[in-house]
Amino acid sequence: MTQYAGCPLNFTSLPYQPTGECVDPKKELKIKSWGILTTTLCCQTPLTILSKSLARLSTNTPDPSVFLDSRDNGCSGLSYADIKKDGSFSDASEICGQFGQSSDSFDNICRKCSGAVLKARDSLVKGLQANGNGQENEICGIAVVTALASERWNESSLGAVNDLYACLHILDVHDPGYIKLKQHTCRYGITCESDELGKDSVLTWEKRVKILRDCALAIRFLHHYIDGCIVHRDIKLTNILLTENLEPKLSDFGLAKVLGMEESKVFTDVRGTIGYMDPEYMSNAKLTCASDIYSFGIVALQLLSGQKVIELDLEARDQLTRKAKDVSSGRRPLTDIEDPKLNGNLNTVDFESILQVAVLCVAKSSKGRPTIDVVFGEMDKAWQNTAADMRAKKEMKSFTATHQAKSLDVQVIPL
């Protein structure tokens, strides 16, 4: 997005970037973003960018309206001054202003803040006597969020603003289609328990490499975000969703944390899933981009070995990483970590290269782990090799079928 003549919003430092949460465009899944506005997964990022841009505009405009050039009598016609007169908004402002300022955990502040946002929205709707009007509820909700961001825009750091928007995603409500999509994660999992389809499904080597490559691509986008590194904090197999065509999508950004441009680490409450969490982060609460790298390494080892995706505890994690390091160093044979369900249908060279990278990713110290650029480069190389193998097999199959068909057309002429 760029700033065009006649448009006061400036998107130059808040460019739209896809989140990786878009699914099949033909089957866009509905979502009630922030528990306020009904939209689609693909439109979550534009909504945030638009709200941020409106908030920033208010800092350079005297007595501005929340929305552009609005003369409506509803929430779309309110100024920031009008909204700030509401008692519930004042409460929300005080609670949501604690991000980065309070010793309380992010989760506790977030829980209180999100509830206060909805309460402030309902208060505005009630004051306008617009109860029962779904569209007015949505407009008032966006007005509250934008006004809260506007209050913090002049702060020396925009960390509090980013925390506000990150927090609001705990209110997201997905439609039943999203629930079905999440079920594919287990249905096509590595060693998931049998479901009501009556039997397990096993991912092929090609699909496993594709999952690793696409997951690394999503993490690379997060770590190179324009406002700083976004640390997902909960990368695990059950948060890698598979579409009906088994296309992987990284999901669940409820714990995501933004490290500012000048920050290489932050000290924060320790959150995540046991078994996937960076041991360094668990011991000193120091969150870095390398924390995601560790989690990705565990995911890679699971995809290589076929170890259960459910209930990976610390003991199981340590056993898996020790085995991987022993195989990588040559102390144990490669077959010790190959998933037997693959029946040997894999590319050994790529298997070994992915294993080497995964072992580096799960180094106990963050200093010993590769960057996401290195990780993605290796995963992409493995995928390119895999894709080439798939094309070669397809061409050979086509050639064989054609040759057999021609053979059947040969007629034997008797002498």
Residues marked active site are found at 234
Residue reference for tokens 């929205």:
121
Report CA 86 to chain centroid distance, whole Å: 35
The answer to whether the CB of 83 falls within 8 A of the CB of 124 is yes
- Rounded to whole angstroms, how far apart are CA atoms 372 and 218? 10
Helix (H) or strand (E) holding 404: helix 372-409
* Cα–Cα distance, 60 to 58 (Å, whole number): 5
Decide: 258 and 230 in contact? Cβ < 8 Å.
yes
Q: CA nearest 389: which of 351, 355, 339?
A: 351
Nearest to 236 by CA among 209, 215, 210: 215
Rounded CA separation 308/236 (Å): 12
**What is the rounded distance in angstroms from the CA atom of residue 133 to the CA atom of residue 288?**
44
Indicate the SS3 state at residue 182: helix
User: According to DSSP H, which parts of 38-133 are helical?
Assistant: 44-58, 80-84, 87-96, 106-127
Rg of the chain in Å (alpha carbons): 26
Bridge-based pairing of strands 228-231 and 257-260 is: antiparallel
Cβ neighbour number for residue 359 with a 10 Å cutoff: 19
